[in-house]
Amino acid sequence: MKRRKARRVYLRPKHLLYALLFVGVVLIYISYRYKDSFAPVKTWVGDLVTPMQKGINTIGTYLTEQIELMDSKAELQAENEALKAEIESLKIQNSILVSDGYELAALRELYEVGQKYSDYPMIAASVIAKDSNGYYSVFTIDKGSEDGIAKDMNVIAGNGLVGIVTEVGKRYAKVRSIIDDVSYVSGMFLKTNDTCDVKGDLELLEDGYIRVESIRLNAEVEENYEIVTSHISDKYLPGILIGYVSNIEMDSSNMARTAYLMPVVDFEHLENVLVITELKKTMDE
Amino acid sequence: MIRSIVVLIEIIISYLLQSSVFSYFELAGVVPDILLILVVSTAFFRGQKAGMLTGFLAGLLMDLCMGDVVGICAIFYMLIGFLNGYSNKIFDREDYLLPMALITVSELLYNLLYYFFVVMLQGNLKFGYYFGKIILPRVVYTLFVAILFYKLFQMLHLMLAHFENKER
């Protein structure tokens, strides 16, 4: 008994503290020095955790749906009636639009207008987890490399830009949205082709805005102009709508102008997104 | 042995709750820090070493799943486990005030560390804004949720302790 006790090494808490601190610092150093060295580990952990998140998520969605179902039946019926009437009028409008569409396609061909982003190949995906830290706007979607998703693919929702894929696992992918503090997108005014930088800003986001910087002084821009992704961006496909500009004012340096931008995507209630499976072609390809 | 497995499962479930379930119940744009509740509780129940290891693993999981730099949250959570481990000497299963206070202070400490070592170094100097917008709501929400989860973790801990005593 005595011998057994003597042989057992007693690890003091302080020593464990130093040991773990050392391991932590080494990890930080490695991940900082060699940027992608942890990618395989991250992917492995992601592949492990994501299916579980997906499972739990179904429960969450189910609960939300149940709560929504409690809305009174009469209300839904009235809504149904109104919607039916709307469908009828939309059908008529649609048939007009379809014929217009044919005409447009023919005219486009004549003018050789470049592709609109509605022509890009896309995959639908749902958001299954959000960053739990509060400081970043990163979320996880339920499609990964096996579904044909790769790093740097653009993500849209509705008709506007959401963000970019930053990490891909077999069955999941991480998306950094454009409202993230460290996000940076090269944008362009659709009307005048003046370029600008669109940056996330956590503080402005409270009022539903993000920031636009580096607008040329002599650019003829006005409030409510559309900003789309620019041709010179190296990761974003050109011509994707980002949002509408407002509050244009002089930069503190007086060398350029800054503005607010109202994104077209509702980031608060993001459930389904579309991933464009076409990558921007860069110089070295 | 059983204990380590249980703690590992607790870590994973806490993370899942935090990232998937509570994103449906966001208050003021933040989710509660359930991993931190777990780390503080474990340190309170079982002392510094257990607290440190739990914290390190929990932080590592968070780093690997969400962060850019691996190891930062691991160190922060580990430190929190270490500091809270001191309270193990006065552990009392009837005392709910002390763990709640510990959780509140720890969450505050974690967020301050995170702000000064990560967010500020990325060039965000508006401390007042971050404090009011993220840190404070997080502390309050975490404390609110902790009332439930602390009890849950304590029940698990007492069950395990009972089980282990029987084995011996």
CATH number of the domain residue B124 falls in: 1.10.1760
The predicted structure's pLDDT at residue A72? 67
- Establish if A132 belongs to a structural domain: yes
ipTM of the complex: 0.83
- Establish if A22 belongs to a structural domain: no
CATH number reported for the structural domain that contains residue A266 in this entry: 2.40.10.340
How many folded domains does chain A comprise?
A: 1
Residue contact A27–B29, C-beta within 8 A: no
- Tell me: the pLDDT tens digits for B111-157? 999 999 888 887 777 888 888 888 999 999 999 999 999 999 999 99
Q: What is the pTM of this model?
A: 0.68
Interchain CB contact of B19 with A (< 8 Å): yes
How many folded domains does chain B comprise?
A: 1
Residues on chain A bordering chain B, Cβ-to-Cβ distance under 8 angstroms: 11, 13, 16-17, 20-21, 23-28, 30-32, 38, 41-42, 45-46, 49, 52-53, 56-57, 59-60, 63-64, 128-136, 138, 140, 181-182, 202-203, 206
- Establish if A33 belongs to a structural domain: no
- Establish if A157 belongs to a structural domain: yes
The predicted structure's pLDDT at residue A285? 47
Size of interface A-B (CB pairs under 8 A): 128
- Residue A275: give the domain boundaries: 118-280
- Establish if A136 belongs to a structural domain: yes
- Residue B55: give the domain boundaries: 2-167
- Tell me: the pLDDT tens digits for A98-127? 888 887 777 766 555 444 556 778 888 888
Q: Say which residue, A58 or A82, is predicted with more confidence.
A: A82
Residues B12, B25: Cα–Cα separation, whole Å: 19
Q: Which of A21, A52, A202 sits opposite B75 (nearest CB)?
A: A21
Residue contact B16–A56, C-beta within 8 A: yes
The mean per-residue pLDDT over the stretch A81-88 comes to: 90
The mean per-residue pLDDT over the stretch A147-174 comes to: 88
Which of A29, A132, A205 to probe the B interface (max B CBs under 10 A)?
Answer: A132
- Establish if A124 belongs to a structural domain: yes
pLDDT per residue, tens digit, chain B (168 aa), is 788 899 999 999 999 888 887 877 777 778 899 999 999 999 999 899 999 999 999 999 988 887 778 888 999 999 999 999 999 898 888 888 999 999 999 999 999 999 998 888 877 778 888 888 889 999 999 999 999 999 999 999 998 888 888 876
> What percent of chain A clears pLDDT 90, i.e. is strictly above it?
7
- Establish if A185 belongs to a structural domain: yes
- Establish if A25 belongs to a structural domain: no
